[in-house]
Amino acid sequence: MTNAVKPKKTSVVYFVGAGPGDPELLTVKAMRLLKKADVVVYAGSLVEKSILKFCRKGVKLRDSSRMHLGEITGALVRAASSGKKTVRVHSGDPCLYGALREQTQVLEENGVPYEIVPGVSSAFASAAALKRELTAPMGTQTVIFTRLNGRTPVPESEGLASLAAHRATICVFLSAGMMDKVVAELKKGYAPGTPVAVVYRATWKDQVIIKGVLSDIAGRVKAAGITQHAMIIAGAAIGDAALRDASKLYSKGFTHGCRAAPSATFQRNLFRSIKAVAAKVALGAKKPRGAKRKR
pLDDT at 168: 97
Taking CA atoms, 206 is separated from 53, 60, 86, in Å, by 19, 28, 30
Answer yes or no: is 292 within a domain.
no
Answer yes or no: is 285 within a domain.
no
DSSP characters over 19-68 = BSS-GGGS-HHHHHHHHH-SEEEE-TTTS-GGGGGGSPTTPEEEEGGG--
* Whether residue 146 sits in one domain with residue 161: yes
* Whether residue 190 sits in one domain with residue 98: no
* Structural domain count of the chain: 2
Answer yes or no: is 252 within a domain.
no
Query: How far from the centroid of its chain's Cα atoms is residue 292's Cα?
Result: 68
pLDDT at 151: 85
pTM over 0.95: no
* CATH number of the domain that residue 85 is part of: 3.40.1010.10
Answer yes or no: is 38 within a domain.
yes
* Whether residue 112 sits in one domain with residue 131: no
pLDDT at 292: 55
Answer yes or no: is 167 within a domain.
yes
**Eight-state DSSP code of residue 19:** B
* Whether residue 97 sits in one domain with residue 151: no
End-of-domain residue from the set 59, 90, 120: 120
* Whether residue 129 sits in one domain with residue 115: no
pLDDT at 150: 84
**pLDDT tens digits for range 126-147:** 999 999 999 988 889 999 999 9
* Whether residue 152 sits in one domain with residue 105: no
Angle between the N-to-C axes of helices 69-81 and 101-109, in degrees from 0 to 180, rounded to the nearest 10: 40
pLDDT at 52: 95
End-of-domain residue from the set 89, 120, 151: 120
pLDDT at 4: 56
pLDDT at 182: 98
* Whether residue 238 sits in one domain with residue 128: yes
Answer yes or no: is 251 within a domain.
no
Residue ranges in the chain whose pLDDT is less than 50: 1, 295
Q: Which candidate, 117, 126, 94, 130, places its Cα nearest to that of 203?
A: 126
* CATH number of the domain that residue 179 is part of: 3.30.950.10
278 residue type, one letter: A
- Residues with Cβ within 8 Å of 96's Cβ and at least 6 positions away in sequence, in order, are 121, 145, 173
pLDDT at 164: 97
pLDDT at 273: 81
pLDDT at 185: 97
Helix (H, G, I), strand (E, B) or coil at 108: helix
Q: Facing residues of 92 across strands?
A: 19
- Residues with Cβ within 8 Å of 270's Cβ and at least 6 positions away in sequence, in order, are 262
Helix (H, G, I), strand (E, B) or coil at 115: strand
Q: Which domain holds residue 106?
A: 13-120
Q: Which candidate, 222, 148, 153, places its Cα nearest to that of 185?
A: 148
